Amino acid sequence: ETGVTQTPRHLVMGMTNKKSLKCEQHLGHNAMYWYKQSAKKPLELMFVYSLEERVENNSVPSRFSPECPNSSHLFLHLHTLQPEDSALYLCASSQDPVSGITEAFFGQGTRLTVV
Amino acid sequence: SQQGEEDPQALSIQEGENATMNCSYKTSINNLQWYRQNSGRGLVHLILIRSNEREKHSGRLRVTLDTSKKSSSLLITASRAADTASYFCATDEGPYSGAGSYQLTFGKGTKLSVIP
């Protein structure tokens, strides 16, 4: 248990569906992240929030929409996804790296399958 | 863009043997981290080594960093079946921008199998 909880653990959705992934951290961290992990590819950083402000968006398609209502919660809203979006989506948090600490704590991930 | 690249991609050893994994990267870094991932689960942080450090130990783990060669190695001594997992290196490049954002860049990982 890392202190970062993701729900749901598994999700199957059709290409016309709308769903949301949820992430919650109880570590008092200021920064939260969404990563995508596809088979045989490096972990891809999708979004970074620091102090609830989005500071990085690595050219992610608009069918992925993040939301960070407070420093403990992070959502990833999904709509009109494609089968190639099937992957393990990982949430992570860290203390604000300005303090010099950049160790990331990951959730268990949501295994997403788009059919 | 991919920064860390682990070698080998897969490693199979007998229980009790040592396992060595290597990581190479391309740009200057603030620190390098190693993570472990059990199949289909989240990553777990193992150890962080700063750019001004050359070697670090944590239990059965030993990490070295050679900034002149832009490479790092992770050694797991006296391996156990429970060490079976994928191991990733990640580089923190900085500089920090915006409200303190950063990019932690991961490699593709080394899949370690420890045979009982």
Tens digit of each residue's pLDDT (9 = 90 or more) over B46-101: 999 999 999 999 999 999 999 999 999 999 999 999 999 999 999 887 655 544 45
Nearest to A42 among B2, B30, B99 (CB): B2
Q: Cβ–Cβ of B100/A50 closer than 8 Å? A: yes
Q: What is the DSSP letter of B101?
A: B
Q: What is the pLDDT of residue B99?
A: 43
Residue B34 reports pLDDT greater than 70: yes
Q: Is B103 helix (H, G, I), strand (E, B) or coil?
A: coil
Q: How far is A80 from chain B (nearest CA, A)?
A: 24
For residue A42, the chain B residues in CB contact (below 8 A) are: 2, 105-109
Q: What are the respective helix, strand and coil percentages of chain A, to the nearest 5?
A: 5, 55, 40
| Residues paired with residue B20 on neighbouring β-strands, in sequence order | B75
Q: What is the pLDDT of residue B27?
A: 84
Q: Where are the beta strands (DSSP E) in B1-116?
A: 5-7, 10-14, 19-24, 31-37, 43-50, 55-58, 61-66, 71-76, 85-92, 104-106, 110-115
Higher pLDDT: A97 or B110? It is: B110
Both tokens of residue A23? 């992430």
Q: What is the pLDDT of residue A63?
A: 95
Q: Where are the beta strands (DSSP E) in A26-70?
A: 31-37, 44-50, 53-57, 64-70
Among A91, A105, A74, A73, which residue's Cα sits nearest to residue A65?
Answer: A74
Among A106, A111, A109, A110, which residue's Cα sits nearest to residue A92?
Answer: A106
Q: What is the pLDDT of residue B96?
A: 55
β-strands A110-114, A10-13: how paired?
parallel
Q: What is the pLDDT of residue A87?
A: 96
Q: What is the DSSP letter of A99?
A: G
Cβ(B33)–Cβ(B61) under 8 Å? no
> For B10-24, how does the pLDDT look when each residue is reduced to its tens digit (9 = 90+)?
999 999 999 999 999
Given the structure tokens 């604000």, which residue do they identify?
A96
Among B76, B108, B112, which residue's Cα sits nearest to residue B90?
Answer: B108
